[in-house]
Amino acid sequence: MRKKKILFFVEAMGGGVFTYITNLANGLSKEFDVYVAYATRTQTPKDYKKYFNNDVHLIKVKNFDRKISFKDIKAFFEMKKICKVVKPDIIHLHSSKAGILGRWAFNGKKIPLFYTPHGYSFLMTNISKLKGKFYRILEKVSACRLCTTISCSYGENLETKKLTKKALYVDNGINIEKIDKLLENKKTTVSKKPIIFTIGRISVQKNPILFNKIAEQFNNFDFVWIGDGQLRDKLSSTNIKITGWKNEKQVLEMIRKYDIFLLTSKWEGLPMSLLEAMYMKKTCIVSNVIGNNNVIKDGVNGYTCNGLNDFCNKISDTLISNTECIRDRAYKDVINHYNSIVMVNQYRAIYEEALR
């Protein structure tokens, strides 16, 4: 019997979504014939093709674009053309743009159709109320189509249920076996003073202004932002180092040297960088938003914060306290739940059920 074909459409293949899609595609490629139709972002690794197994088929979508434009019409028909060539048994749409276009390009009757938002656009806080309402209406209308939304966190699933009853969720997971292999035989060098770090695109979502204010309050300590972005000028505090984009191995080697993971996001889906920091036993101090607070339980496996003062107080407490128990709990949470083996098994079960 031939393998069943799964076709992923991924408009935003960068950052955490890139890690997610490589883990999922590679994890499913033994049982399924996996196709990934994608567009790259500035943070997509230059050698991104090497991250996929050889048996995963990659198809570049020429007209995928982050902004709403006339290119979306071309992308709509390009998606239909790709589907006609691949002839998939399952279609899974990733990110808002692919989710909107794909739910109207395909009817979900002949081919089971799934959608994962990876953070709803209408939850963004850097857009006007009018635009937020527009995005919500788009999602609400599109949710009427025959498609099941699989959220990547419990909090995102609660938002999905406001739009449709066809809602499931599978928590994101990281490939801990791959992390161990990349860091094999690498020695950890401990800094004299704790180093506070974050990972991601320097964008409104990640709130570099708040990150900068926190760094100014702790000018005797070094802060590191692993990544880059248009808002790098907002990180003006002299104790902040911006590394630029690094490959996966370089990022992991940096994390080993650092101590406190700081995530000041205004909104999230379920950040892979947070799961990686938890697995590597870093003290995680994060903003109290959907995605973050579904994983981090304040004072149990990390700390959640509301505003500048809360962040500063919890960082101060962490600097003088023994957080070994909290770090161990975070590590065990990833081992037992937030890893790619658990994630892939759950998706496999959903797909197999749909095919039946």
- Tens-place pLDDT, residues 34-82: 999 999 988 888 899 999 999 999 999 999 988 888 899 999 999 999 9
Instruction: Tell the residue number behind the tokens 């083996």, with chain if given.
Output: 341
Which positions ≥6 away from 27 have C-beta within 8 Å?
340, 341, 343, 344
Q: CB of 7 within 8 A of CB of 86?
A: yes
Three-state SS letters, 128-148: CHHHHHHHHHHHHHHCCCCCE
In the sheet that holds 57-60, the strands lie side by side as: 57-60, 32-40, 4-13, 90-94, 113-116, 148-151, 167-169
Instruction: Tell the residue number behind the tokens 């449709």, with chain if given.
Output: 164
Which positions ≥6 away from 110 have C-beta within 8 Å?
none
d(Cα 215, Cα 146) in Å, to the nearest integer?
A: 48
Q: Confidence band (pLDDT; 50, 70, 90) for 186?
A: low
pLDDT for 43 equals 83
Domains (range + CATH), the chain: 4-173+339-355 (3.40.50.2000), 176-336 (3.40.50.2000)
**Does 12 have pLDDT greater than 90?**
no
Mean pLDDT across 186-193: 68
- For 105-141, write each residue's pLDDT tens digit: 999 999 999 999 998 888 777 778 898 899 999 999 9
Closest CA to 66 of 91, 33, 43: 43
Read off φ and ψ for residue 57, nearest 5 degrees: -90, 130
15: left (phi over 0), alpha (psi -120 to 50) or beta: left
d(Cα 284, Cα 276) in Å, to the nearest integer?
A: 10
- For 216-226, write each residue's pLDDT tens digit: 999 999 999 99
pLDDT for 102 equals 97
pTM: 0.85
Give, in order, the Cα–Cα distances in Å from 91 to each of 35, 99, 127, 149, 227: 10, 11, 30, 12, 32
d(Cα 34, Cα 38) in Å, to the nearest integer?
A: 13
Q: CB of 289 within 8 A of CB of 270?
A: no
pLDDT for 139 equals 94
